[in-house]
Amino acid sequence: MDSYDVIIIGTGAGGGTLARHLAPSGKRILLLERGDWLPREPQNWSSLDVFVDNRYVSPDTWYDGDGKPFQPGVHYFVGGATKLYGAALYRLREQDFGELQHHDGVSPAWPISYDELEPYYTQAEQLYEVHGARGEDPTEPPASAPYPFPAVSHEPRIQQLSDDLAAAGYHPFHAPCGIRLNEASMPYSHCVRCPTCDGFPCLVHAKSDADVLGVRPALEHPNVKLLTNAMAVKLETNESGNEVTEVVVERNGETERFAGDIVVVSCGAANSAKLLLASANNSHPNGLANASDQVGRNYMFHDSVAVLALSHEPNTTIFQKTLGLNDFYFGSDGFEYPLGNIQMVGKSDAEMFRGERPRETKLAPEWTLARMALHSVDFWLSTEDLPRADNRVTIEADGNIKLSYSETNAEAKKQLYSKLKSMLGHLGMHSDHLFTRHAYMKNDIPVAGCAHQAGTCRFGDDPATSVLDRNCLAHQLDNLYVVDTSIFPSIGAVNPALTAMANALRVGDHVLERIGARTLTATT
Ligand SMILES: Cc1cc2nc3c(=O)[nH]c(=O)nc-3n(C[C@H](O)[C@H](O)[C@H](O)COP(=O)(O)OP(=O)(O)OC[C@H]3O[C@@H](n4cnc5c(N)ncnc54)[C@H](O)[C@@H]3O)c2cc1C
Ligand code: SF4
């Protein structure tokens, strides 16, 4: 059996970032990824292939709480969900690390403060080449360095939106973007600023994803090995149950076993929980690291809604995801609880509507889909959903994931939607039309839109209420870590990837220290 110093299972925002951070240490590192490389092909940028035919959605079957099967919006590739993500790379707000009172209850505190994660946010922004402008967003937390790259410019319709918002007294800001765009010198730019970014793979590898900026740089080190199409199905422990001894993998129809001094699980929130639960043994009858019965619980994925407003003027924007608005993040006039974040989503086109069956178009019969697409201005509203013990991942008898979920904070989500709708008249848009879209979540089963999945293995100081300690080491196992979004005790209302990346760097420093390699390495 091959043995390694560190085995990392999953190569997305958490695992891919950790791999890059550990790679210069010279330690023997094995990356196990259940998916393959995402193929580079013209279809990467085809709305029809990506949004209508779901070309890159992996063929998994999960069940909802009522036992109804559905295909989740998951993407099993090197780089994980970041291959398809919108690369909006936000920091959580400083207050998100403390307890926050919401309409439906308390969003729990993290075991670490914002200050502890801050240096790693800065490092993650550098690693993932984030573009942004500090000082525009009033809710922005303090940062020890400027963004490494200037903000991505607004195109004229979005600049107009920004101006109109500012004139109405709001505080729009340039959204933090992980696209490798060099506007000062386009001949040298990796990114060509195209309309098919958010929800699409990047054909020219210019998106700051965990494949291009995590795994590939890690593989330049001869001590790092990647196995694709290698699905971890079980973790074995020693007799006393305090150490993972083997990772059992299914690859090319064969079962293989690998030993690692340290094993890091980073399969995404649902699949990490599944792996731990499926690894139950005599010492861990309820699943690994599950003495607290918290593995799989507290699943969150944001109360999100994609909406489309109709602009009086045509909206010819190509790359739309450049603007954010956090004026209602912590509340608004008449609603004292947090509402959430408003940002732009990728510009919709008529092909996407074909995939989305926009029933609401009946409300505007005079608008053809093509005309709607030309005039659409597309927003993404995110409200924090709260961790609930009953919102959880379990494993069905056939071995597939069951995802039981009841919505939380629906009132705050409704308020945020109403807030945007009430603003449209001031923003050069038809005030009577705000259509919901199914971007990222075409399926009729809402939990299928699991792009922002988190929770399920939360970290904390109390082993009775958490799965991992503050270093993201399992409370009951001496060599098992988790570094994906499953560690989140609460999710905030901004996109989760940068936080997973920053935390992976933080845990990476701890692992380097532990294996005696801290002084030898630095993320470059
Ligand atoms: C369409 C879309 C748009 C998004 N837009 C944004 C955005 O703009 N900003 C943002 O911050 N976030 C965005 N997200 C969310 C973001 O991509 C995720 O939060 C982030 O990638 C989660 O990182 P992770 O490490 O937890 O999981 P992932 O990135 O999903 O990585 C998990 C990896 O584990 C692998 N894996 C799973 N099970 C196994 C197993 N048993 N054995 C081996 N490998 C396994 C998977 O194949 C995958 O590669 C978006 C997601 C999607 C899908
Ligand atoms: S906008 Fe840039 S990063 Fe995004 S898909 Fe297009 S070329 Fe790639």
For the CA of 215, the nearest ligand: 1
| pLDDT, tens only, 360-393 | 555 556 677 788 889 999 999 999 999 999 999 9
Contact predicate 235/246, CB 8 Å: yes
Question: What is the sign, positive or negative, of the torsion defined by CA atoms of 315, 317, 320, 326?
Answer: negative
For the CA of 399, the nearest ligand: 1
**Pocket lining: 14 vs ligand 1, CB cutoff 6 Å:** yes
pLDDT of res. 369: 79
The more confident residue out of 446 and 243 is 243
Query: With 90 as the cut, is the pLDDT of residue 356 above it?
Result: no
Q: How many CA atoms lie within 13 A of 78 on its CB side?
A: 24
**DSSP helix/strand/coil, 199:** coil
| pLDDT, tens only, 396-422 | 999 999 999 999 999 999 999 999 999
- Cα 400 to Cα 10: distance, rounded to the nearest angstrom: 18
Distance 188 CA to ligand 2 centre (A): 14
Mean pLDDT score, 474-500: 98
The more confident residue out of 113 and 373 is 113
Contact predicate 452/491, CB 8 Å: yes
Residue 443: domain span = 2-520
Pocket test for ligand 1, best of 495, 498, 507 (most atoms within 8 A of CB): 495
Assign 435 a pLDDT band (cuts: 50, 70, 90): confident
Please tell me the total count of domains within the chain. Answer: 1
pLDDT of res. 442: 47
List, edge to edge, every strand of the sheet that includes 429-437: 172-174, 323-325, 341-344, 376-383, 303-311, 429-437
**Pocket lining: 12 vs ligand 1, CB cutoff 6 Å:** yes
Pocket test for ligand 1, best of 452, 487, 505 (most atoms within 8 A of CB): 452
| pLDDT, tens only, 11-60 | 999 999 999 999 999 999 999 999 999 999 999 999 999 988 999 999 99
Mean pLDDT score, 153-174: 97
**Pocket lining: 456 vs ligand 1, CB cutoff 6 Å:** no
Please tell me the residue having the least CA distance from ligand 2 atom 2: 191
**Pocket lining: 496 vs ligand 1, CB cutoff 6 Å:** yes
Report how far Cα 6 is from the mean position of its chain's Cα atoms.
24
Contact predicate 3/258, CB 8 Å: yes
Mean pLDDT score, 323-336: 96
**Pocket lining: 505 vs ligand 1, CB cutoff 6 Å:** no
- Cα 38 to Cα 83: distance, rounded to the nearest angstrom: 8
How does the average pLDDT of the chain come out, rounded?
Answer: 94
Distance 47 CA to ligand 2 centre (A): 14
Distance 185 CA to ligand 1 centre (A): 31
Pocket of ligand 2 (CB under 6 A): 179, 191-194, 196-197, 200, 202, 204, 206-207, 319
**Pocket lining: 13 vs ligand 1, CB cutoff 6 Å:** yes
pLDDT of res. 363: 52
pLDDT of res. 441: 44
Distance 319 CA to ligand 2 centre (A): 8
| pLDDT, tens only, 443-458 | 456 788 899 999 999 9
pLDDT of res. 524: 46
**Pocket lining: 306 vs ligand 1, CB cutoff 6 Å:** no
- Cα 75 to Cα 449: distance, rounded to the nearest angstrom: 12
Contact predicate 272/295, CB 8 Å: no
59-63, 239-243, 442-446: which has the minimum mean pLDDT? 442-446
pLDDT of res. 439: 55
Q: Which helix (H) or strand (E) holds 132?
A: none
Total H helices, total E strands in the chain: 10, 19
**Pocket lining: 500 vs ligand 1, CB cutoff 6 Å:** yes
Distance 417 CA to ligand 1 centre (A): 26
**DSSP helix/strand/coil, 367:** coil
**Pocket lining: 324 vs ligand 1, CB cutoff 6 Å:** no
Residue by residue, DSSP assigns 311-343 as ESS----SS-TTEEE-TTTT-BTTB-S---EEE
Query: With 80 as the cut, is the pLDDT of residue 336 above it?
Result: yes
Give the CATH number, domain containing residue 493: 3.50.50.60
Assign 354 a pLDDT band (cuts: 50, 70, 90): low
Query: With 50 as the cut, is the pLDDT of residue 511 above it?
Result: yes
Mean pLDDT score, 434-440: 69
List all residues 6 or more positions away from 285 whose beta carbon is below 8 Å from its beta carbon: none
Please tell me the residue having the least CA distance from ligand 1 atom 4: 85
Query: With 90 as the cut, is the pLDDT of residue 348 above it?
Result: no
Distance 191 CA to ligand 2 centre (A): 5
Residue by residue, DSSP assigns 404-460 as E-----HHHHHHHHHHHHHHGGGGTEEEEEEEEE-TT--SSSGGG--TT-B-SS-B-
**Pocket lining: 76 vs ligand 1, CB cutoff 6 Å:** yes
pLDDT of res. 438: 64
| pLDDT, tens only, 249-298 | 999 999 999 999 999 999 999 999 999 999 999 999 999 999 999 999 99
* 443's tokens: 């399926």
Mean pLDDT score, 105-127: 98
Distance 80 CA to ligand 1 centre (A): 4
Q: Which helix (H) or strand (E) holds 468?
A: none
pLDDT of res. 370: 82
Assign 522 a pLDDT band (cuts: 50, 70, 90): very low
pLDDT of res. 132: 98
Q: Among residues 380, 369, 375, which one has the least CA distance to residue 441?
A: 380
> Beta partners for 237?
244
Assign 521 a pLDDT band (cuts: 50, 70, 90): very low
The more confident residue out of 200 and 523 is 200
Pocket test for ligand 1, best of 85, 227, 400 (most atoms within 8 A of CB): 85
Nearest-atom number in ligand 1 for the CA of 495 is 11
